[in-house]
Structure formats: structure tokens, C-alpha cells
Amino acid sequence: MSANFDGTSKSSSVESKEKSSKSFKELIDKEEYDLRKRLPRKLPKRKTDVYITRKTDFACQLERAQKLLDSENEVYVHGLGAAINRAINLALQIQTESQGLVEIAAHTSTVELVDDLEPQTDDLEPETQSRNNSAIHIKVYKINPVKVELKDATT
Amino acid sequence: MDQFNRKRPHGGMTKNQAKKQKFNENILSEAPQAIDVIEYARSRAAELQLLDEATKKRKVSQAVNGLMSISMRRRAMSHNVKRMPRRVREMVTIKANKHKKPSRKHRRRPKNLLQEYIRRQKNKVWLETHIWHAKRFKMADKWGYKIPYQPTNKSARASYRATQHHCQMIDVSYLCCIEILGKEENILNGVSSLCNSQTGPTVAAKMYLEGTREGNCVLYKQNQYPQGPICPATFLWRPKSEREPLRQLWIWCHPSSFEELWKELEACMSVSEKCEVQDISVELSCSIEDMRKGRTLADIANSSVLNNNSKEDKMSTISEEGPKQEDRSKVPKETQDKTKKQKSKKHSSTEKASEEKFVKVINRKSQIGKVFMTSLKDRLVRHRFIGPESQRILAQTLGIADIMFNNKETSYWWKEYYEDKKHSLDFNQQREFWDGVAQCQSAAELSPHAVIGLTVRDPRVIRAMKRNENSDMASESMVVEGIEAVKLMVSQEVSNSPIWEEEIRKTVTSTKKSDFEINQLKSEHLVPGSELMLGEEESRIPVLVIQNPGTNPSAHSHSHYGNGWDLILPAGWSMAFWVASIYHGARAGGLRELQCLANEQQIEHFPEDYPDTSAGREEEARVKSEKEAEHSKRPPAKRPNFTKLDVANPFSWAWDQLVHCDKEDTSGFHVLRDRKDLNTLRKVVNISRGQKKKCLKSSESVERFAPYQDILSRHQKSLVFVKISVNSKGCPEEMGTISIPSKEDVRKMKADKYFVGPLRSQQPDPELEDKKEKKKKAKLLKKGVLNLQPQKTPENREVAKDNVDDGEREIIGYVKHGGFSLNNGHGAGKGFCSLAGLEKLSESLPDERNLVLIRNPRTLQYRFARLSL
């Protein structure tokens, strides 16, 4: 599949690798390029996913997650980059408020992000720059005491 | 008396009665024994008829109701015109030969309805989706078009939600496209005099020349930068191909400035080519019979040109490339002759239809040296999709067509086009790319302004699935594959599309199966509801899909708001794709939604936010007259007194006064669009809270003011576009003033958290006071008391003035549009400040360089707000 995207596209990506991120910063500072961050790739959103952002009020996001957890058995809290702290904070708060009825399980990943560099002058080619950022995915789930008891009885 | 007595039943009789009876008997004997009814009626027929007429016939029309208030009604007004007030008498009297409106049933017959539609389109253009919109939208009569303004069933907030969480679809087919055909250097020579590289990348920019990105820039009158902007335009180059030495450029502009741009383009081309402009427009006349078939003007223009051209163009394709250019110039002239001939033939063959039945269509074209300019106004359809869902909806609506074929017996445009190996290879790349794109969750994940060419199936054949949760949940394993493809940039092969070829566009339009035919086929289909399998007969439509990245993420705003896609289609296909997208869950919007989007994004929207263009000035004049009319409608006590409120221009924006306060020369202002200068200004003005402390530490005032002097020297009379966000409660409003806060205000604000802003003192209205005094005098005179009052009033005024601190706060700008921003959750707006004013602002408050006071025209209350560029 990627073979079809040879030519201009691949060469530009090679170039972008050659240029370190530092040189791009210089270019941006010189006002030759304008930085435009693309949206990180999202998986199709399930009902139980909560993506944490720093731009929405924390209490609001907490409430949303809490409400979801009331109707569902588990909620996935995702945080990317600077929002990781928030995601952890949110998951922990849900846990403490539940008085031991909720457990959390976290795992981390790396997300590849793409930035577009838009030239500000006529004679420059557009560039892309890819970088990695860390992400956290926290599964917040109920431990159902009723089910556990039943299981115990059967065994 | 006698008659009464006669009727009375006989009882016991007195003497008197007996006498009377005798008398009565005498009379009765004299009376006729029977009445001849017929004769009786005949003799009174005239009277009866008069009576009948008087009751049936109205002398006064029923339209009275709307014309007069209820309190003005009088008895029997409908019978005697003279009981009406004289001014309405003429309007109300029923004329003898007034044409009666035919019944609705008659009017709604297909034949009559179409005739009515054609009549209504005579002086304005309808979009192809007009009838769909007219049923659900308020329509605005603007720029020669009937444009859907706002849906009647949705509020602005619902539309905001659609753009934020779902998909808003807007028909922007009224945007006009100008095609320029010629050698690259020839085109660039001409067009580059209209744009300036200081405003950012221009038409000649390397990244746009490949044709994989749509660019946008502000076009200026020839070499007049920074004065004389015409309009912002988006433009798109056709990807290069080895075979064609000529290149095509599409410039999309707003209809309000189309004429101006066209003339300017012609002029600049003729300068660069050193050649006269040759007008080779083709004028066509189409009979109304043609239009009855449910086609728009544009379709007819396309198809009729096609009919004439088809033979000749085949000839020209046979001839080699060299003489092709000459051919091209010849063709239109010949067609002109031919159309005339055809017209005459039509006249003779059909029963010499009257000339009124012909509708004129102009195929506008001009030739300047080796460059051809064609107006593609109303020849292309453009739908705008905004919002995260637009991705899903487009992926479902645009099913990639099958272009494989075994036999070449029947001729279709796509068979001819894709016979070429290169084209079919391109097609495969496009299909794979689109598969990757379709798996994205949002358009903002792709490279900005990317152009993807596609050839898609007839959307009427594909049935929209009922939306349920299962269909929303795509399997995750599918997602991973497409990632690589999407991350890369779009290549030229992916961007190329047969839609660039005029012939193909026309064929696609003319060979479209009508809705009736498709429905007929569907009804004959064995399994109702399943997909129609038309095989080769199904139309293949070339389309262009252009990405729109939305707002650039910054510290303040929600990122990527307003991202989505633009879909460009050949004429005639608008309705099919529109309805299909609606079925897939898109929500329709109109012009208001476009404006709202721009307001939420706090970006300029043409023509409102371009006060230095002629279209912008027109818009401002319109707003002014509208506001004035609204104001003057109300009685003085029910409208704000702008003298008391001390608002000099309550209905318009006084940009001219802003720019040259004291100087006497009155040359026009312009808006600062120089990218570098704006960036330096941004560094000075935009300070976020984190940066403030840094700034305070390194307060090098000299360095800060240096850029102002530099920019001011170059752009003396310039306005700067600013975004306003209010600190506390309150929203900025149209025509509000932006002024510099005094030091006292800032001190108060810092001391008191809840201090919203100072209050302006009410100004005296001498006119009103004179009136009041006169009234008083009249009253006193009436009572017989002589007027011996000492004149105290002026002293009182002075005392009042001393109490309120009212330093004149200098106005540095005006609010162009404002309101509550749903995106930010507080009042926000956009406006223009004079550059000199901004300098003064940062001089007076070096620490708070973006803190301003805003006052709406209807209040005395100033409110604090922050500016950003």
C-alpha cells in the first residue's frame, strides 16, 4: 500500500527526518513556517471512552465519567501528553469517592503525532514533522461484590 | 291598527268591535280575492336584484385588515369606500377587471409550477437545491442569488452543536469560480500583480503549484497593495501532467465581488500579455420547453454548448497540440454562429414560439493573448461540510465507482478517460487513499487543505443505512492499516480528477438519469430497499474533496474547531448528493451558520469583515440603513437616546474617523494584512497570563515600541483586526466602542475583583430639554402663572458633572460583531482597531497592553475586555 505513496510524499518525509526538530524550531522562529498541529489519531469512540482535555473544566469531566460509571461497569479514561496528570487525577478521584467499590488499572502507550509546517513564503515546500508523545489509558471498573460472593458459593 | 285587528282571532265582541267588523268586511270585500304571485314578484324583481347585488358584491376589498389598526375601523366600511381614510381608499377599492388568482390546484400542476419557477428565476439565480431549501429555510435575496439564510426549525445554538459534535452541511454553490487556462508563467505573470507575497503565500507559492493543496489569499487591485483589496479568494491549480503544457487555475470568489475581480483579472492579464482583451462569450438562448424538463439554467448552458461543440472538439483532439490553441480560439466563434442557426431552426420548426419564451444564458469567456479566462459561475457545485461527523458522512455518501470494463461497445466518458493507463493508476491510488481517509475519525487528522480527486457512484443508488449503535462501532482492527497513508502528504496523482475537463463535466451533467427514471428502476427492483445494480449504466461522477483544517490550536481556543470538507461537483448533481448526505445524518445550515461559525472561530468573514473592500462597504451601508429604519420606527420614548448615551455613530462604523483623527486628508484606510507586521504586533499585544510575569521582568519599553514606529511608518492609515474577549460578564455588541482605560480604571480593577468597569456619565440632550421647557412654559401660561423662574439649570448640570469622574476615554476601535461565544463560554467578538490607537494603548499601559474598555451603543457601562490579534 505504501508503495503507492512514493514520489513526492516519501521524499518529503525523508527530508523531515533529516532535519531535526531543533532546526524546525528555528525556522518557525524566523517566521518562515507556521506550525499547525494535527489532531492526534483517535480510535473509534466507544460509549465508555472518556478523553480528557485540559480545556474543559475538570469538575465537569469528573462528573461525566462518574455518570458513565453509574450506568456501565467500566470506563476508560484516556489522557495524552499534558493531560496525563489530569487523567490520573480524575481516575483516582473516582476511586476514592467510590469507597473501595472501584478499581483502576492503568497502562501507557506512545502516540505518534504529526505537525504540519506551513510555509509563509512562496518558495518553500510544506513539511511535516512527526514526534512521539506519551499517553495513558486507565480502565476504571467496578468490583462487583455480589458476583464475587456468588462465585465463592459455587466453588 | 286595522291590520292588527284583522289578524286577531275572533272572541266575544263588544259593540265597538262589532262596528269595526262591519267596516272591515267592507274593505275585505273590496280587496282582490287572490294574488298573482308571478306578477307580484315580477313587479319587484328589480328591487330584489338590487338587494341581492348589494349583499353579494363587495365594494371594498378584504385587504383592509392589514392596512389599518383596529381602532380605525368603522361600521359598514366594506360597503362604503368613503368611510375609509382617504390614504387607503385607492388601495382598497375593487377594480372591475382585476385578475383573479387561479386556484392552488391549478397553480400546482407540474406544467404551471415550472413556468412559475422559471418566472421567479428571471432576475436572480437559484441554487440547485433551492426548492429543497425554500421549504425549510428562510431565504435571503443577496448578491444576485437566492441564498438559504437560516433553517426555520433550528436555533443558532443547535447549529453550533452540529458544527462541534456532528456535521453541518452548507450549500455554498453561490461562490463563483473563474477558470484561467494558459501557460504557467503567463498566468503567474498576470495574477501575481493582484496578490502580494507580504500577505502570505500567494498563487505562485510552491506548495500550491503542485495542485495538491487549495490556497487562499486576499486579492488586491493591480499593484495597489496595501490599498484596494478586492476580496479574499481560494484558488486551486490543476495538477501538472506531462502531456498538457497548459495549466488550469480555478479561482473561487464571492459573488459580491465577482464582477470586480473578473474585470481586474482581465486588466492585469492584458497588461502582462500586452494584448487586448477579446470577449469571446457565447450567448445562448434556451426555450422554456427545455427548462420544463427540470433542468437549471446552467445545465442547459452546458448541454447546449456540448451539442454544438461535440463534433468540433473531436476534430480538435485529433489535431496536434500545436494548432490546438488556435482551434480553441476559433471554436467559440463558430459555436456562436451555430447557436444562432440553431435558434433560427428552432424558430421555424417549432410553431414559432414567441421570443419571450427563450431564456438567455451567457457563457462568459475571454481571451487575452494566450490565456483564456472562463467563468464557471453556476457550473460547479460546492457543498461545505463542517464538524467531526462530516468525515463519516462523506465516506458513506461517496462510494468509489467501479471503472473496470470488459467491452468497449457502449461509450461512456469514464471508459474513454480511464482507458488511459495513467489515469486508471491514478484512480487506484485515489481509491486506496480514500479508504485510508475514511477510517479517520476527523478531517483534522489529515494534511491541511489537501485536495483529493475521486470518481464516485450515483449517490441515489446507495441507500443510507439506518443508524444504530452497531454501525457506529467500527472494528478496531480495521483502523490500523490506513494510518500510514493518511499521515503522508497528498501526491499529485491523488489530487487529479476528470472534473477539470470541461467536456467530461458536461457529459456527466447531461447524461444524468432523472430522479423519475431512478425511482422507476427502484420500483421495478425485485427486492425493495436493496441496492440497484445498474452496472455500466450507472453514472460515474468526478468530484473533488478538499480538506478544511479549522482553527489552528492555540492556548486559548478549542483546537480544530470548524474542520471539515468541501465537496466540489459538476453542475446538476447538487440535489442528489445533498439529499444523500441528509439521509446519512448531516444537518443543513445556511448563511447565518457560516457567519456564526466565523464568529465562534473569531476569524474574518467576507464581506462583513472586510470594511476596506467595496463589497464590505456595501454591506455596511445596508446594515446602516436597516438599523436606522428600525430606530426611526419607534417613538422617541421607546428608543435609546443616543445623544444622552453619547454615541456618535450608533448605526455605522466610523472607520475613517478612527484612522485620521486630526489630519485633513481623506484618502481611504486599509486593513493591515502584512503577515510579518502582524506577527510582530502579536508578540507585543498577545500576552497570556504566564507570559505577563516574564514581560514584567524584562520590561524593555524601547524594544517594545520600536516595531510600532516601524509599522506605522509603512501603514499609516491602517486598521488591525482584533479578537475581543470580555473578562467578566457582558457581551460586546455591534458598533460598540473599544477605548483605552485610564490609569484610575486599572487601579480600581486590580483593587476590586468585582469591578466590571467605569460608568460613563449621561450627557445632556439640549433638544430634549428645550422641548421640556417649552412644555412647562405652555402649562404655566395655561394656568395663568407668569414665567418668573430663575434659570438654574446650567449650574445644576455643572454640579452633576463634578460628581462622576468622566475622563474622556479615547476610542481606538469599534466592535464589528459580538455576542456570547458558545465555544469560549463568555462574551466575545471581533473588531478593528486603528494601528495608532494600539500604539497609544501599549504606551499608556505598558503592563496591561491588551486591556481595553468596551462600551455598547445602548449602555453607559464600560466593561473590561482583552484584545488579541
Whether residue B833 is predicted with pLDDT greater than 80 in this model: the reply is yes
Asked if B2 and B24 touch (Cβ cutoff 8 Å), the reply is: yes
Beta strands B587-589; B168-171: pairing state: parallel
Chain A residues within 8 A of B563 when measuring between CB atoms: 39
Kindly indicate the confidence band of residue A11, based on its pLDDT and cuts at 50, 70 and 90: very low
Task: Report the gap between the CA of A15 and the closest CA in chain B (Å).
Answer: 12
Residue B234 pLDDT: 92
Q: How far is A63 from chain B (nearest CA, A)?
A: 19
Which strands form A33-37's sheet, in the order they lie side by side?
A33-37, A102-119, A127-142, A74-80, A49-51
User: Looking at chain A, which residue has its C-alpha nearest residue B563?
Assistant: A39
The mean pLDDT value for B425-449 works out to 84
DSSP string for B705-727: HHHHHHHHHH-TTEEEEEEEEES
Position B98 scores a pLDDT of: 62
Q: How confident is the model at residue B312 (pLDDT cuts 50, 70, 90)?
A: very low
The pLDDT, as a whole number, for residue B336 is 40
The mean pLDDT of B213-223, rounded to a whole number, is: 88
Q: CB-side exposure of B503: number of CA atoms within 13 Å? A: 15
- Residue B345, pLDDT above cutoff 50: no
Per-residue pLDDT band for B8 (boundaries 50, 70, 90) equals very low
CA distance, residue A99 to nearest chain B CA (Å): 33
pLDDT at B337: 40
Lowest mean pLDDT among B226-235, B284-293, B691-700: B691-700
Amino acid at B562: G
Rounded CA-CA distance B112/B115 in Å is: 5
B864 has pLDDT over 60: yes
Question: Which residues of chain A does B428 touch, with a Cβ-Cβ cutoff of 8 Å?
Answer: 4
**CA B744, CA B759: separation in Å to the nearest integer?**
13
Residue A115, min C-alpha distance to chain B (Å):
9
B37: cell is 304571485
Query: Of A41, A45, A72, A137, which to mutate for an interface test with B (greatest number of B Cβ within 10 Å)?
Result: A41
Q: For B774-804, how does the pLDDT look when each residue is reduced to its tens digit (9 = 90+)?
A: 888 888 888 776 555 545 444 444 444 443 4
The reply to whether residue B207 touches residue A4, judged by beta carbons under 8 angstroms, is: no
**pLDDT computed for residue B253 by the predictor:** 92
CATH topology of domain A2-154: Translation Initiation Factor IF3 (3.30.110)
Look at residue B289 in the predicted model and tell me its pLDDT: 53
From residue B749, how far is each of B697, B742, B753, B863, B868 by CA, in Å? 22, 11, 6, 11, 20
Which residue did the predictor score with more confidence, B202 or B713?
B202
**Chain B residues touching A31 at Cβ < 8 A:** 675-676, 679
Least confident of A19-28, B399-408, B771-780, B844-853: A19-28
Q: Which of B200, B201, B484 is facing A2, going by the closest CB pair?
A: B484
Nearest Cβ partner for A128 among B445, B489, B553: B489
Contact B796, B764 (CB under 8 A): no
Q: Distance from B449 to chain A by nearest Cα, in Å? A: 11
Show the cell assigned to B307. 451539442
pLDDT of residue B14: 56
Give the type of residue at B7: K
User: Which among A5, A7, A43 is the nearest to B485, CB-wise?
Assistant: A5
CA angle A110, A112, A115 (to 5 degrees): 145
Task: Compare CB distances from B201 to A10, A116, A120 and report the shortest one's residue.
Answer: A120
Average pLDDT, chain A: 76
Long-range CB contact pairs, B841-848, < 8 A, 24+: B841/B740, B841/B812, B842/B684, B842/B685, B842/B704, B842/B705, B842/B708, B843/B705, B844/B740, B844/B743, B845/B740, B845/B741, B845/B743, B845/B746, B846/B699, B846/B701, B846/B704, B847/B692, B847/B695, B847/B696, B847/B699, B848/B746
Residue where the block lists cell 422554456: B288
Quote the cell numbers at residue B712.
Answer: 506605522
Q: Is a pLDDT exceeding 50 seen at residue B619? A: yes
| Beta-carbon separation of B445 and A122 below 8 A | no
Return the beta strands (E) in B222-379 as ranges. Answer: 229-237, 247-253, 277-279, 282-287, 358-363, 365-368, 371-375
Q: What is the pLDDT of residue B23?
A: 66
pLDDT over threshold 70, residue B640: yes
- Residue spans of the domains in chain A: they are 2-154
Give the integer Cα–Cα distance in Å for B188 and B124: 34
Residue A16 pLDDT: 44
Q: How many CB atoms lie within 10 A of CB B214?
A: 23
- Percent with pLDDT over 70 in chain B: 77
pLDDT for residue B408 is more than 90: no
- Mark out chain A residues that contact chain B at CB-CB < 8 A: 1-2, 4-5, 7-10, 12-13, 31, 34, 36-47, 55, 112, 114, 116, 118-126, 128, 130
Classify residue B490 by burial, with Cβ atoms within 10 Å: 0-12, 13-18, 19+.
buried
Residue B626, pLDDT above cutoff 90: yes
Q: Nearest 10 degrees: CA dihedral of B52, B53, B54, B60?
A: 140
Lowest mean pLDDT among B246-260, B497-511, B575-589, B772-786: B772-786
Q: Look-up: residue for cell 518529503? A: A12
pLDDT band at B327 (very low <50, low <70, confident <90, very high): very low
Using a pLDDT cut of 90, give the percent of chain B over it. Answer: 14
Instruction: Average the pLDDT over each of A98-112, B290-304, B571-585, B842-856 and give the range with the smallest value.
Output: B290-304
Q: Which residue has the higher pLDDT, B14 or B47?
A: B47
Average pLDDT score over residue span B705-719: 76
Domains of chain B, start order: 104-153 (no CATH), 176-345+355-375 (3.30.70.1400), 380-465+478-588 (no CATH), 628-761+804-868 (2.40.30.110), 766-801 (no CATH)
Question: With 90 as the cut, is the pLDDT of residue B136 above it?
Answer: yes
The C-alpha cell 477539470 sits at B500
What CA–CA distance (Å, rounded) separates A5 from B432? Answer: 10
Would you call A39 and B428 a contact, using CB atoms and an 8 Å cutoff? no
Q: Indicate the pairing of strand B564-570 with strand B380-386.
A: antiparallel
Q: Looking at residue B801, what is its pLDDT?
A: 43
pLDDT of residue B84: 82
Residues in chain B with CB shorter than 8 Å from the CB of A128 are 447, 487-489
Evaluate whether B571 touches B504 at the Cβ level (below 8 Å). no
Q: Residue B857: pLDDT above 50?
A: yes
3-class DSSP state of B74: coil
Q: Among B444-448, B475-479, B639-643, B651-655, whose mean pLDDT is lowest?
A: B475-479
Q: Could you tell me which residue, B208 or B557, shows the higher pLDDT?
A: B208
- DSSP string across B533-550: --GGGS-EEEEEEEEE--
Residue that wins the pLDDT comparison between B473 and B656: B656
DSSP class of residue B773?
H
Is the pLDDT at B702 greater than 60, yes or no?
A: no
Ranges of beta strands (E only) in B762-850 are 811-821, 826-834
Q: Over range B244-260, report the average pLDDT.
A: 89
Q: Mean of the pLDDT values across residues B478-502? A: 70
* Cell numbers that stand for B623 in this block: 446594515
Which chain B residues have a beta carbon less than 8 Å from that of A125? 206-207
pLDDT band of residue B691 (cuts 50, 70, 90) is: low
Distance separating alpha carbons of residues A122 and B404, to the nearest angstrom: 41
What integer pLDDT is reported at residue A155 of this predicted model?
A: 43
Residue closest to B718 by CA, chosen among B273, B227, B229: B227
**Taking CB atoms and an 8 Å limit, are A37 and B558 in contact across chains?**
no
Q: State pLDDT tens for residues B350-399.
A: 333 334 445 556 678 888 888 888 888 888 999 999 988 888 889 888 88
Lowest mean pLDDT among B420-434, B455-469, B691-705: B691-705
Q: Which has the higher per-residue pLDDT, B400 or B273? A: B400
pLDDT score of A88 more than 90: yes
User: How far is it, in rounded angstroms, from Cα B498 to Cα B516?
Assistant: 27
Is residue B382 a contact partner of residue B568, using CB atoms and an 8 Å limit? yes
- pLDDT of the residue at B207: 85
Tell me the one-letter amino acid at B355: E
- pLDDT above 50: residue B280: yes
Q: How far A92 CA sits from the closest chain B CA (Å)?
A: 26
Residue to test with chain A: of B165, B192, B199, B207, most A Cβ within 10 A? B207
B447 → chain A, closest CA residue: A116
A36/B560 CB distance under 8 A: no
pLDDT of residue B328: 36
- Looking at the predicted structure, is the pLDDT value of residue B427 above 70? yes
Q: What is the pLDDT of residue A131?
A: 86
CA angle B269, B492, B254 (to 5 degrees): 45
Q: What is the pLDDT of chain B when averaged over all its residues?
A: 78
- Give B197's contacts in chain A (Cβ within 8 Å): 121-122
Q: Which carries the bigger pLDDT value, residue B425 or residue B25?
A: B425
* Cβ <8 Å between B442 and A39: yes
Residue B171 banded pLDDT, cuts 50, 70, 90: very high
Q: Are B238 and B192 a contacting pair, CB within 8 Å?
A: no
